[in-house]
Structures are given as C-alpha cells and as structure tokens.
C-alpha cells in the first residue's frame, strides 16, 4: 500500500538527500530578525557549500539546535589574521562572534559529518556578496586532536594545506578550489578562511569531515538516514519510519510513534522516543549516537539511523502526520538588481513583495555597519505589492535589504534578506557613452561607463578597435570589464 510514494496527506520531513532536507525544514524566522538587529557583525556574505560547512548544514537542516546561524550561514565573520590573530581559541567555529556561539559546541557526536577522502579535493564557496578577496586558506586538524574539546589552534596543523590567491579582485558568486587533502582517519575538522580585501575581517567556516577508511561508524552498520527535530508535535500526531530497499517501502519494518502528551511532542523529546522505539522493535535497524563499543544510544535531538550490514536496506525517511498543520506565512521579492549606481548619494529602489498570509511587511535598507538607511511598509494579504523606496545620504559599498513580514494575527515573523552592492560612478573618468549605448560608434579612444561596476573603459586602437562594437545580449565576450575577453578590446581607465 505504501510502495514508493507516501500518502498525499502526510509530509515526509526527513530524508537522506540535502535537497530533501532543505525543502522540508520549517524555520522560525523571529530569531533571524533579532540576530540581524543585535549582531555587531550583522552583514556578511559567504559560506562553504560543498562539502557543506557546519553553518550551512544548520540552514539546510543537516544540523540542529544551531541558534540564529540557521538563517545567516553567510554571516560567520570575524577579525582577520588567523592563526597569529583572529578569533580566540574556543570560538574559532563562530569566528569569535557571540551571535553564532552555538557553533562552538564540540563533541565527537554533536555535528553531522560529510565523507571525504585524502587526495584531490574540491571545496566550493557560495557568496551572497562577493567581496574583493586577498586569499582563501584551508587548515586541517591533527590526527590526534581531541574532538570532545572546543576547537583551538593546538588542534590544527597551523600551516594551511591549501592556499588560493584572490588577487584583490571580486570572485564570481560561486567558486570551487581544487586542493590536495592530507591523509587522516576518522573524524576531523577542516577550517576554511576567506580573507576579504575591502574590510579588516575574514569569514571562518568549519567542515565536519569523516575520512573514508576511519572507524566511524563500524562496518557492521551503515547510516541510512537521520531523525531531525524539525517541528513540535501535538497530542495525537504521529511520527513513523518509511524504510526502503531496492524494491520500495518495507511496511514490515515500519516503526510508528503516536504522541501521548504535550511534553512528548516537544521536538527534542519525540525524536528520542522514536529512536528508542526503533531500537526496541527492529533487529536490522538502530537509531541514536553510536558508541565505540558498537552500542546505539538515543539522544534528545538529532538521531542518526543505521542499517545492519547485509540487510539490503537502502534508506529511511521519517513521516510526520499532523492533525492540525501549521499556518504558512511567507514573503518573496522580485525586481531587484544585485548592483546599483548612486547619483550623488541618491538611489530609488523599485521592487515587488509577494506575501503568503495576512502580513504587515516592512522593508529596511542597512549599510555594511548595520545602520538603517531607509524604510517602507505596507499591509499585504495573500497578494503582491509594488514598493518605491527613495533613498538619500548613501555611500558606496555593500548593503542589505531586509524584508520582514509580521502576521497580523500574531505568531512568528518571516523575513528575506537580500545583498545589494551600491557603487559611485567612476571618479575622474570622463566618458562618452554608458555601455552599450552608442555601440556602433565605438572606435579608437572611445570611453564608456560600465554600469555593472561603475568603471570607465577606453577602446583600444587598430587592430583591436573592431571588437569594441562586437556585443549582443547573447555574445558578451568583449563587454568591457565583465566579458571573458574584454581585455582584447578595452583598457580600464580607472
């Protein structure tokens, strides 16, 4: 009856793929708003997305009980200079910021790990604001480090195993570095440091890694999924396992928990209760943190689920059947660019907000230091609203537009945060055209303003000038400053 696909009235909250976890994680956005307003390093801009860093797994649901970083994985920013300076020992994972202090918790079973292998190793970053970059550096814990103590410099080899020069330029929004990962076994931590060039700070991300060939978990068991404390449950709600082999769901291996009390329905309690019931009912499946003696101990919170070797089982998902599904509120934004040119410190933003629910929507623009530069608001109920936001007194640099929706009936606020880069027109550089205006008249010495970066470029003389006018929306290789071959045709003036 359950072969392949769960019933339509059930929501599968837990599965093994990160895409599924991200789609099914329910977020409480109030803490995100508070974190944005009180953090001393509010506006920050990048995270390691592959292998997923500790802070990014907090966003996707792979890690739990993370605090406010689950809404701001790109914001783990602290003083530059590691290892001679930078975050203090014990606060390396949080970049020394109290806003992300939950990341500093360190035990052998606290964080979800990603399988890695020594040798060629790719590390990918995703940037929400791609700052000018000095370099990226990667460090690895020593083989004999203690995973049950806070991360300190003494735990790491302080010579980075990989360094990538940023050349003081802006990287693309996504970059991948090819490194060579040293030999290790078991649980290790990789520290990635992104040192930006236009502030005195760096971004610190740690990756919890399990080296293939290590001893965790023992070969007698392999992980098939995870029970995540994703939401509170009410009396009468159910949490059940869906166990799959190569042919589909195995109903005979299902374990179901019916919530008997409000206390049991708390998200850290029902996960413990379900893991305990799995261990009591099943012989080929175990749930909980695995000890060195091969025992499985359910915990209050996140519980891995393991399959016995030779069972032919492939994965497990957790379904939640809720009697009264929570009301969904949300906001989304369209019509914004990532970069804007200022006109004597002035700018008008035009954008549209779509609201799900009956919300009071407030839009606030913050500069990089966290100062509010302007605000608009409107009531929106299950519809869209177009905003015009005139702003003055602005300075060039990174800004963030925070869209917050507060339900009129009460409850948790929702929010979306967008990164904007404001730029001054090129100083001291006269130009004849704003690219691509006047395209066909570009010739030797023609100067144009590139609105995408605010810089002025001059067309090279013969025999290169013909490329200056070679541009279309689908052929941008000679576009000044941004095309793949722009330097064949143009000289940057400033």
Decide if 111 is inside a domain. Answer: yes
In this predicted structure, what is the pLDDT of residue 131? 80
Last residue of a domain, one of 185, 211, 237: 211
Return the SS3 of 242. strand
pLDDT of residue 127 exceeding 60: yes
In this predicted structure, what is the pLDDT of residue 205? 98
**Whole-structure pTM over 0.85, yes or no?**
no
In this predicted structure, what is the pLDDT of residue 43? 44
What is the C-alpha separation between 318 and 305, in angstroms, rounded? 10
Q: Are 188 and 57 contained in the same domain?
A: yes
Decide if 3 is inside a domain. Answer: no
Number of domains in the chain: 4
Could you report the per-residue pLDDT of 364-397, keeping only the tens digit for each? 999 887 889 999 999 999 999 999 999 999 988 8
Last residue of a domain, one of 360, 388, 421: 421
pLDDT of residue 99 exceeding 70: yes
Q: How many CA atoms lie within 13 A of 232 on its CB side?
A: 8
Last residue of a domain, one of 387, 421, 455: 421
Least confident of 3-12, 252-261, 423-432, 438-447: 3-12
Report the chain's C-alpha Rg in angstroms.
Answer: 26
Q: Are 71 and 150 contained in the same domain?
A: yes
Q: Are 75 and 187 contained in the same domain?
A: yes
Q: Are 248 and 140 contained in the same domain?
A: no
Return the SS3 of 67. helix
Q: Are 285 and 359 contained in the same domain?
A: no
pLDDT of residue 429 exceeding 80: no
Average pLDDT over residues 416-435: 77
Q: Name the nearest CA neighbour of 407 among 368, 380, 445.
A: 380
Decide if 330 is inside a domain. Answer: no
What is the C-alpha separation between 153 and 149, in angstroms, rounded? 12
Tokens of 68: 């406010």
**Distance linking the first and last C-alpha atoms of the chain:** 69
pLDDT of residue 14 exceeding 60: no
In this predicted structure, what is the pLDDT of residue 35? 35
- Domain of 266 in residue numbering reads as 221-321
Q: Are 202 and 226 contained in the same domain?
A: no
Contact 294, 217 (CB under 8 A): no
In this predicted structure, what is the pLDDT of residue 168? 85
Tokens of 149: 């103590």
Least confident of 3-12, 99-108, 293-302, 380-389: 3-12
Whole-number mean pLDDT of the chain?
A: 84
Check residues 207 and 323 and name the one with the higher pLDDT: 207
pLDDT of residue 70 exceeding 50: yes
Least confident of 10-19, 76-85, 275-284, 317-326: 10-19
* CATH assignment of the domain containing 232: 3.30.70.2150
Decide if 392 is inside a domain. Answer: yes
Q: Are 369 and 445 contained in the same domain?
A: no
Return the SS3 of 239. strand
Q: Are 263 and 225 contained in the same domain?
A: yes
Could you report the per-residue pLDDT of 15-48, keeping only the tens digit for each? 433 333 333 333 333 333 333 333 333 344 899 9
Could you report the per-residue pLDDT of 212-255, keeping only the tens digit for each? 864 434 457 777 888 988 889 999 999 999 999 999 999 999 99
- Quickly state the pLDDT bin for 199 (edges 50, 70, 90): confident
């Amino acid at each position: 009856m359950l072969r392949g696909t769960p019933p339509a009235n059930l929501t599968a909250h837990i599965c093994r793929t990160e895409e599924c976890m991200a789609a099914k994680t329910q977020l409480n956005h109030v803490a995100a708003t508070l974190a944005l307003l009180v953090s001393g390093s509010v506006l920050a801009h990048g995270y390691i997305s592959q292998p997923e860093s500790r802070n990014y797994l907090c966003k996707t649901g792979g890690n739990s009980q993370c605090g406010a970083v689950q809404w701001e994985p790109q914001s783990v920013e602290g003083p530059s200079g590691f290892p001679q300076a930078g975050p203090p020992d014990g606060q390396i994972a949080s970049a020394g910021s109290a806003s992300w202090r939950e990341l500093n918790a360190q035990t052998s079973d606290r964080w979800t790990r990603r399988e890695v292998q020594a040798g060629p190793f790719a590390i990918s970053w995703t940037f929400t604001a791609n700052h000018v970059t000095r370099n990226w550096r990667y460090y690895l814990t020593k083989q004999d480090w203690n995973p049950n103590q806070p991360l300190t410099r003494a735990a790491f080899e302080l010579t980075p195993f990989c360094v990538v020069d940023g050349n003081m330029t802006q990287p693309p929004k996504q970059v991948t570095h090819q490194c060579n990962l040293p030999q290790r076994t078991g649980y290790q931590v990789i520290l990635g440091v992104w040192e930006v060039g236009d502030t005195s700070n760096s971004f610190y991300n740690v990756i919890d890694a399990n080296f293939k060939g290590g001893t965790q978990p023992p070969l007698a068991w392999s992980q098939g999924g995870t029970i995540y404390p994703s939401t509170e449950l009410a009396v009468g709600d159910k949490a059940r396992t869906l166990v799959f082999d190569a042919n589909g769901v195995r109903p005979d291996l299902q374990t179901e928990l019916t919530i008997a009390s409000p206390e049991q329905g708390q998200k850290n309690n029902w996960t413990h209760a379900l893991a305990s019931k799995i261990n009591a009912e099943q012989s080929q499946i175990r749930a909980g943190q695995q000890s060195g003696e091969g025992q499985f101990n359910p915990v209050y919170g996140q519980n891995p689920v393991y399959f016995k070797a030779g069972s032919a089982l492939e994965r497990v998902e957790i379904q939640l059947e809720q009697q009264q599904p929570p009301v969904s509120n949300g906001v989304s934004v369209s019509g914004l660019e990532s970069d804007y040119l200022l006109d004597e410190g002035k700018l008008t933003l035009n954008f549209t907000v779509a609201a799900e629910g009956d919300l009071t929507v407030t839009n606030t623009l913050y500069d990089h230091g966290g100062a509010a530069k302007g605000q608009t608001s409107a009531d929106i109920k299950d519809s869209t609203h177009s905003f015009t936001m005139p702003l003055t007194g602005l300075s060039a640099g990174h800004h963030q537009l925070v869209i917050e929706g507060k339900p009129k009936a009460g409850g948790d606020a929702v929010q979306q945060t967008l990164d904007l880069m404001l730029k001054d027109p090129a100083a001291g550089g006269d130009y004849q055209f704003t690219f691509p205006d006047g395209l066909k008249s570009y010739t030797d010495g023609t100067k144009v303003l590139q609105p995408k970066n605010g810089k002025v470029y001059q067309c090279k003389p013969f025999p290169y000038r013909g490329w200056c006018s070679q541009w279309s929306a689908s052929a941008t290789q000679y576009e000044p400053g941004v095309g793949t071959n722009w330097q064949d045709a143009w000289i940057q003036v400033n």
